[in-house]
Chain A
Amino acid sequence: MAANDDQRDLDVFFEAARERTPVPSAALLARIAADADATQAGFGVRAHARRSSGRLRQFLDALGGWPAAAGLAAATLAGMWIGFDPPGDLEARARDALDLVQNPHVIDIMPGTGLDLIGEASL
């Protein structure tokens, strides 16, 4: 079994070779790590863009899509316009609206039943 002995003896040589396997220096590892961070930063820009468009989409879906968002935008702009440049009789219109709230017109839908007296009875 001389051949097998010789092959087993090879283990001593392989062990010597493994012990002499070069070890990466701290400087080399630092360069590799810097490359990893720089490359990963590029992933982050693209990932952030994807996340932002996702949030916008969720917001629009909550409103009811682009048409609803457009209507909301129009209403907002109208409110801003009225605030900056109100119509001349705005105050009179506001008073009329307030008066309706405080003194609602009663419509007797069932005359003779006394429904119009319910509010007074509760006082």
Chain B
Amino acid sequence: MRRCYPYLLIAPALGLISMVSLYPTLYSLYLSLHRIRRGTMEWVGLQNFRTILTSASFWQSLQHTLVFGVCFVSITLICAYALALMFNRKLALNGLYMTIIFVPWMLSDIVSGVMFRWLFLPHTGFGHQVLEALLGTSNLPGTPAGAMGIVIGATVWQATAFAMLLLLAGLQTVPREIYEAALIDGATRWQSFWYITWAFVRPTTMITTLFLTIQAINTTGMFLAITEGGPGRATEVLSLYMYREVITFFNFGSAAALSVIMFVLNAALATIYIRTLRAETV
């Protein structure tokens, strides 16, 4: 009995986690092997996966996800790094700046997305008018690159604060004495950054990159609010493709298969990052 006691104590928590996390995951897997039509479930084996993997839309969406992911993660990291380095210097009015930077992070995807959509509305959007005055371009959301650029910009704008917070926490773990010792030894600014700052912050950067990458793969709200996947399919990423499959087309099985593929993608990326992190810290 004594041996079972700890398990019994954690049983409610485990039960709850299973209910809200494990069960939906397993049910998705189960759904992905079925087709639901006319209210009945039909076993189709791997047919849904075959349909998805042979569809041009899937590969297009994957490509868009990759483009979005690479741009979003790298730009967010650069912006977050710059801001974290700035705040690490303990400037005057740090709190005020920090609050301002955190406002976008507190907004929902849809609210931020709608704001950006309106900002670039042809003829009436302020952003559109500014761009037209500066570059002479028009209808930015009407071009594939422009539409993707707007979504990337909006997502970077929203996610930078959180990434900066993580990186700032990492920066604040670097002891001042090491910088002083390096200065005495004649280290340049770049050498101080590369051999001290970067060496300390690298694990945090990896974690931040992992979070941002997972966010990039799963982002739906921004795309839905700004472009709905258009023009054409230029901004239809995997998550939006899945959303359309289930919400617009009622293809539960295909959408579940897609969710399994995305889960595998996320898990693979997380494994790679964690392994790299472990290898570096050992």
Tell me, yes or no, whether A binds B: no
Chain B interfacial positions (CB closer than 8 Å to A): none
